[in-house]
Structure formats: structure tokens, C-alpha cells
Amino acid sequence: MKRIVFLISGNGTNLQAIIDKCKTGDINANIVSVISNNPDAFGIERAKSEGIETKVINHRDYETRDLFDNELFKYIKEVNPDLIVLAGFMRILTPKITDSYFGKIINIHPSLLPKYPGLDTHSKVIENKDSSHGVSIHYVSNELDAGPLIAQATIKTKDKEAIEDLIERVHAAEHKIFPKVIKLICDNQILLNSEKVIFHDLETNGVHIDEYYEV
Ligand code: GRF
């Protein structure tokens, strides 16, 4: 069974979606720890109430990004995960972590990358009147929101849709595609080989998973 560590900063609805699938056995993995840089992250409460080990490493307690990352690195090394999942983790990791765990860290980002890396993706979609929006899941590299792409889910935008509604629909898409991808990784069906994402036994062989959701 794969050992997964989650890094979060907030609500943790994606974390919850994966916890639920681990509990039913759909995902063959153990979430061995949930780490947050934010002591008030609700995701920490979610993990605790499921009996999952939690760790708060508050970035405000460290003078530099390097010092924070050293602490994070030390803890992750102790936990020794097979997979590190960034799900709403609002800190940029330094190469110390991204290089050491390249191919073992994935991130979920609320846009159709390479469009809109970084923050405020939903408001950018609205401002630019984009006809579609979505979610990307990718391996984490040194470049922000730009590592090898594993999967994307697209949703259609609606005319004059309130940002809260759009965010909710993006979340709904995330909760569908993220468990799928994590399951495949835990079943050794997806892996990274010299910067190329490899899919085993899938029709998508060599091409990232591309789905469309009516949510
Ligand atoms: C998600 O939209 C994810 O794509 C982004 O941060 C959000 C986290 O949501 N990286 P939650 O904490 O899982 O509810």
C-alpha cells in the first residue's frame, strides 16, 4: 500500500475526497500524514477527525523560505512517503524538495495549464470571458505550476456566472478527477520517466488524461 503525505493550507475538500476513497478501498493507499503551513487550516481538523497524523509547520515561524523548507524536508524524510500530494498548499517549494522528490510530488491547480499559473485563476477566467475553465494535475517541478501534466478536466463557463458558483463547479470537477489520478498512481499505472508521464495499460498512453465534466 502506498504511503501518501498531503500538504494543504486551507479547507481540504480535495483531501477529504481522497480520504473517502482510501476508506472505501477504491484507492489502495494510506494517508500517513497531513501537513499544513497554516495552523488554522480546516483540512487539519478533517485529518484529525479521521485519525490521520497531522503536522503544522507554520511558515511564519521561519525567517526564510529555505529554513521553512528545511524543516518541511526533514519531516517528509522521516515520514518517507511514496507520494506527496499538494492540494491547496499555498507555499512555493524550493528545489531542495522539488528536486529530491521529482516524480513523487503532484499538485492540483484550478486552471487549464499552461493558462493561468499562480493565483486568482477563477477571476482571470471571468475577466477574459473564457468559454471554458478547469483543473490540471501535474508533477511538481522547480517552475511554478509548470511540471509535466498528468490530467486535465474541462468545464464550460456560464454567462454572468458568479465567481463563487464557478469555484464550486471547479471543485466538483476536482473531486472527480483527483481521486482517479491518485488511484492510477497508487496502482503504478502512471509514473514519471525522465520528465515524461507514462501511462500503463491505458488508451491515453503517452498523452495526458483529458476529461470534460458537466458539473
Ligand atoms: C483547489 O481549488 C486546488 O485546485 C487549489 O486549491 C484549492 C484547494 O481546495 N490548488 P481544497 O482546500 O481542497 O478545498
Please give the number of the atom of ligand 1 that sits closest to the Cα of 108. 4
pLDDT attached to residue 202: 55
Catalytic residue among 109, 122, 133, 175: 109
Q: Please tell me the distance from the alpha carbon of residue 152 to that of residue 164, in angstroms, as a whole number.
A: 21
Mutational test site, ligand 1, from 11, 14, 145, max ligand atoms within 8 Å of CB: 14
Catalogue all structural domains in the chain, each as residue range(s) with its CATH number. 1-101 (3.40.50.170), 109-215 (3.40.50.170)
CA of 12 to the centre of ligand 1 (A): 7
Give the tens place of pLDDT for each residue, 117-130. Answer: 999 999 999 999 99
Q: Which residues contact 107 (CB under 8 A, 6 or more apart)?
A: 85, 86, 87, 89, 137, 138, 139, 140, 145, 147
Mutational test site, ligand 1, from 89, 122, 171, max ligand atoms within 8 Å of CB: 171
Ligand 1 pocket, Cβ-based, cut-off 6 angstroms = 8, 10-15, 43, 87-88, 108-110, 171, 174
pLDDT values of the chain reduced to their tens digit, one per residue, 215 residues = 999 999 999 999 999 999 999 999 999 999 999 999 999 999 999 999 999 999 999 999 999 999 999 999 999 999 999 999 999 999 999 999 999 999 999 999 999 999 999 999 999 999 999 999 999 999 999 999 999 999 999 999 999 999 999 999 999 999 999 999 999 999 999 999 887 888 775 555 556 788 888 88
pLDDT attached to residue 125: 98
Q: Which residues contact 156 (CB under 8 A, 6 or more apart)?
A: 131, 132, 214
C-beta separation of 106 from 138 below 8 A: yes
Whose cell is 521529482? That residue is 102
Nearest CA to ligand 1 atom 12: 12
Sheet architecture: strand order including 2-8: 54-56, 29-36, 2-8, 83-86, 105-109, 132-139, 149-156, 209-212
pLDDT attached to residue 146: 93
